[in-house]
Chains A and B, each alone.
Chain A
Amino acid sequence: MHFGYTDEQEQFRGIVARFLRERAPVSAVRAQMASERGHDPALWRGIAGELGLTGVHVPEHLGGQGFGLEELCIAQEEFGRALTCAPFFASTVLATTALLEIADEAEQEALLPALVAGERVGTLAWVEQGGDWSASACAMLATPAADGVRLNGHKHYVIDGLAADRLLVVARTPGSVGNAGLGLYAVEADAAGLVRRGLETIDTTRRQAALVLTDCPARRLGAGRDFTSGFARLMDRATIALAAEMVGGAHALLDAAVDYAKLRMQFGRPIGAFQAIKHKLAEMLLEVELATAAVRYAAAAADANDAETSLLASHAKAMASDASMRAAVEAVQIHGGIGFTWDNDTHLWFKRARSSAVLLGDAALHRERYIALTEAAA
């Protein structure tokens, strides 16, 4: 296990960071927050075409760059830092990884190139209203039909569910319970019986949708592979990648708070000279650095197929949830009254942090999972 980035990885981070600084500054974030689609297709083409990030963890024979989760997480950290409005988490982290971990090889060859090229935007719809993040809670039914499968049910909290035109849906065979009978299904964006509605979200930099499927035609993927283990690997990797994005956002919040504490004058001195502020910032730094260490360790472990990967994914997500919320709450506090205004940028990162702290399971859920896995390993 290594504890620092290689020079190549540092270089890669620098390229992504510079690209996002130039092409997706906060003014662009604000423009996309208010836009209909929620992201800028030109920026998405740049992320996919110029940087090739949409294929960073896809094997070369499938058109990707052949790197691992570590590199995906480097990109995620930078997207989180910049609060980029792009369907990267939905399409590259969720849908692309789902195909890699669950679909058969022929299906991967057929479906991945369009996602890797950024020509299509994918997403994964597995969770239903109420937000049980495990696949076993899925109630959507997949019923055999003459020309394939019909799906009936609803999905909630579908990330970029309106922008996506490659929908991957988790459903179960009639009469099945728990992990039995679960499968991954491809649904065309224009399929009959698919109704999509945009959900109103506190974080408008990442859109969500609700799907209602009524006798909706679909195609089963990965019939030749074990869904449960594939889905577990997908969730571990998506959880680590989300945690990476969260620590990137937490670093941005911390940096903004530190900068402001150096500039803001009260009682004849910069507020950062007061220990009440200085000590808060020191604790924020500590918590953010600990979470960052946990994320990077987990990503490296996942790439090494370490037996602890699931436990480490929960470790990373629990710490990232707590650290990014702490950074968000304290960053608003340190900005004082101005931090509560719409014009100040802090609330944009606050809202992402609030939302991501819950997405894929909150800190308490992952702490419980961590202990359960610790017990199972004993």
Chain B
Amino acid sequence: MSTPSITPEETTVRAELRAWLAAHWQVDRSLVAWRHLLVDSGWGMPHWPREWHGRGLPVALLPAIDAEFEAVGAVGVARIGIRLLAAATLLEHGSDDHKRRFLRRILSGEDTWCQLFSEPGSGSDLAGGTTRAEFDGTRWVVNGQKLWTTSAHHAHWGLLLARTDWDAPKHQGLSFFVIDMHQPGVEVRPLKQMNGYASFNEVFFTDAVVPANNQVANTGDGWKVAMTTLAHERRNADALRRWGHASPHAGRIYDEERAEIATVMEPYRWYPQRAGRVDLALPRARSTGRMADPAVRQELAKLLMLSRASEWLAQRARHAKQSGKPEGPEGSLGKLVASHVARAAAEVHALISGADAMLAGADSPENGMIAEILLSVPATSIAGGTDEIQRNIIGERVLDLPREPRTDAGPFRDIPRNPPRPRG
């Protein structure tokens, strides 16, 4: 791999930023006050447009800019959680009024956000949502229910996809809103999962209110806006993990950042176990003496091979992207192969653990870790697009197979759908 050459622009930008940081960065400032400085200067989101808290710099310069921040240990704008998806959505589809009201407090970290898309009756078929928004002449009145809403319990604002036209075809009857989560018509309840954690929420709307000026884009354009949010969600998945690590330094501003990260990252504590913890398989096979069992050796080999080959597949996808070649099938396969790895890992952990695989908590191997793996892995093949949906995508977009004939055309009102989920 050749070292990328440093452009004159990068040298200039780095020098400018270095000087600005030298003049402004102080660890004993409050986190919010520092971030307002970042927003005013444009250094917080340097690739955003100048009129909206950015400097209009190319995305390619971001690694160099991050490096300058890291060199002095400077904290950036608030980036973890749903907030940046909200910002990206509003930048693309929001009015100037939306951008003025919401962007600054997103970047300062003063407001947190949640995404109100999935419903009990529409998971894979996201466009089949039945939460309704009705205009009463001055404002929108919202009734219905959302599910799997991360951070709803502390969010100030929600990105809401709701049905505004029941006679239009499914995708064309949706509209997009920003809803104030702190109002009487919004009730948030934690949703307990099969692994015992409650990382997500159910959100109930009973005559909740959205002022007319909080509608994003035109009535009926909600699906298009939601697609923007989801595209950013996929693109930012890696970055979110990186930003989720707090800096180890001491000082007021770092303490405040650590608290923010702890709040946002709390729901994700079991995510490593969800992926199967392949890293534990070989050490556990050794330490338990199960390495002598030919069945364990076979299944362990399958798992290690699958896991390693999936990394090579991902690297091939990245290589193709970097060298500007047309993307092969590798990119679309990543989500599906992760499910296979997670399931194989759970089976291997169960095989290695033997009878102890029945136990949980302190009685389970690795102080509960094995039980947590066994009970968290099923999420991998469902969350973020089920394996079945991934296979449809691979079949239709990569292999160019024909689509199944649709039976959900025509007015949404006439399409069969699920009964509401009882409010327990």
Enumerate chain A interface residues (CB-CB to B < 8 A). Answer: 2-4, 258, 261-262, 269-270, 272-275, 277-279, 281-283, 285-286, 289-291, 293-294, 296-297, 315, 318-319, 364, 367-368, 370-371, 374-375, 378
Contacts and interface: CB of A to CB of B under 8 A. Distances in A.
Contacts of A3: 312, 315-316, 318-319
Contacts of A261: 401
A378 B336 CA distance: 31
A279 B306 contact: no
B8 interface: no
Contacts of B302: 367
Nearest to B320: A4
B315 to A, nearest CB: 5
B398 A285 contact: yes
B323 interface: yes
B312 A294 contact: yes
A273 B282 contact: no
B405 A289 contact: no
A279 B309 contact: no
23 contacts: A4-B320, A258-B401, A274-B404, A275-B404, A279-B388, A281-B395, A282-B392, A282-B394, A283-B391, A286-B336, A286-B340, A286-B394, A289-B313, A289-B330, A289-B333, A290-B309, A293-B316, A294-B309, A319-B305, A367-B298, A367-B302, A368-B301, A370-B305
A278 B309 contact: no
Interface string B301-345: 110111011101101101110010100011001001100100000
B141 to A, nearest CB: 39
A273 B301 contact: no
A290 B403 CA distance: 25
Question: Which of A262, A278, A281, A375 has the largest number of chain B CB atoms within 10 A?
Answer: A278
Nearest to A322: B302
B313 A290 contact: yes
Contacts of B298: 364, 367-368
Interface of B: 282, 286, 291, 294, 297-298, 300-302, 304-306, 308-310, 312-313, 315-316, 318-320, 323, 325, 329-330, 333, 336-337, 340, 388, 390-392, 394-396, 398-405
Given A262-B401, A269-B405, A277-B401, 5 more contacts: A261-B401, A270-B401, A272-B402, A279-B391, A371-B297
Contacts of A270: 401-402
Contact of A273 (B312, B330, B404): B404
Nearest to B330: A289
A377 to B, nearest CB: 11
A270 B403 CA distance: 9
A367 B333 contact: no
A290 B337 contact: yes
Nearest to A290: B309
Nearest to A323: B309
Contacts of A296: 312
A73 to B, nearest CB: 15
Contact of A293 (B312, B391, B404): B312
Nearest to B299: A367
A251 B395 CA distance: 15
Give the secondary structure class of A's interface: helix
Nearest to B294: A368
Output the residue of A2, A4, A368 with the most chain B CB within 10 A.
A4
A213 to B, nearest CB: 36
Given A290-B310, A290-B313, A297-B312, A278 B305 contact: no
A273 B403 contact: yes
A258 B399 contact: yes
A293 B403 contact: no
Contacts of A364: 298
B51 to A, nearest CB: 40
A279 B395 contact: yes
A367 B301 contact: yes
Contact of B301 (A269, A289, A371): A371
Contacts of B286: 378
B319 A285 contact: no
A286 B337 contact: yes
B402 A282 contact: no
A289 B333 CA distance: 9
Contacts of B333: 285-286, 289
A287 to B, nearest CB: 9
B81 to A, nearest CB: 32
B396 A370 contact: no
A247 to B, nearest CB: 12
Highest count of chain A CB atoms <10 Å: which of B291, B308, B399: B399
Contacts of B403: 273
B405 to A, nearest CB: 6
B396 to A, nearest CB: 7
B295 to A, nearest CB: 11
A297 B308 CA distance: 11
A378 B401 CA distance: 46
A294 B305 contact: yes
A289 B317 CA distance: 11
B304 A319 contact: no
A279 B395 CA distance: 7
A259 B176 CA distance: 41
A306 to B, nearest CB: 14
A281 B398 CA distance: 11
Nearest to A372: B297
A273 B399 contact: no
A270 B396 CA distance: 13
A368 B320 CA distance: 33
